Structure 1
């Protein structure tokens, strides 16, 4: 008789870093091009939960021109302190996202194009204290050229 996967699988709530991010986070997002020139600036409100051993995240972005964009993500355990994130929302529905925890406060996400396997982004998420998170993302073109960076400072608000 085999042991059900749900019993043998590591529980997300027991991971080193991901549970520390559960809550509501608000922040400022700044996108820079490959030359360091600002392209865009907007606000983000992120809700992060662990539900039935899945990472459930909703990002709501608010832009100065009044636009609002919502992105929904669901993550599953993919290994020791590693999760695989998926989304049904464009453009993330076209990407594979893997996040791995390092030490006690750092997560490194890698983002690949599902169709080509090309690496499109690497993001570091550094929890510098219980209520402050600094994120940086390096973006790449499908040809592997540096596209720019995104810098995000978030504070826990709930």
Structure 2
């Protein structure tokens, strides 16, 4: 059989199996099959185009993101008026998107580069931390709106 060929089995609910790998397994003498999906039914793989970036340029981008993250995380929500809360909500959404972009850019670097370049490793670890903090901030804003502003359902233009 060649890779991609389908093997038909008259047993069980899955009848057609596609060969996806040869020389697999611990011993290297196994073939791997998965249930066959006709190409017409397959979901297209959507890959966002993430531009390649140099480490110096990535550092500049990180510095901008760092400032935005600090603005989003700094204020205590209970001391904000409605206009300030909205501004923090927008800043949180923007900073969250920026951290996602930097994390996506990390995929262009090899694991070896991320291990050997301490500055790069710290940048991505800090960005991961920011992402989690911003996600928590977004949830805090949602909960604050429900608890203190009486909003029952948060609109699409709010976090």
TM-score of the aligned structures, taking structure 2 as reference length: 0.20
Q: Of Structure 1 and Structure 2, which has the larger fraction of its residues in helix? A: 2
Q: Of Structure 1 and Structure 2, which has the larger fraction of its residues in strand? A: 1
Q: Which structure exhibits the higher relative contact order, with contacts defined as CA atoms closer than 8 Å and separated by 6 or more residues?
A: 1
TM-score of the aligned structures, taking structure 1 as reference length: 0.20
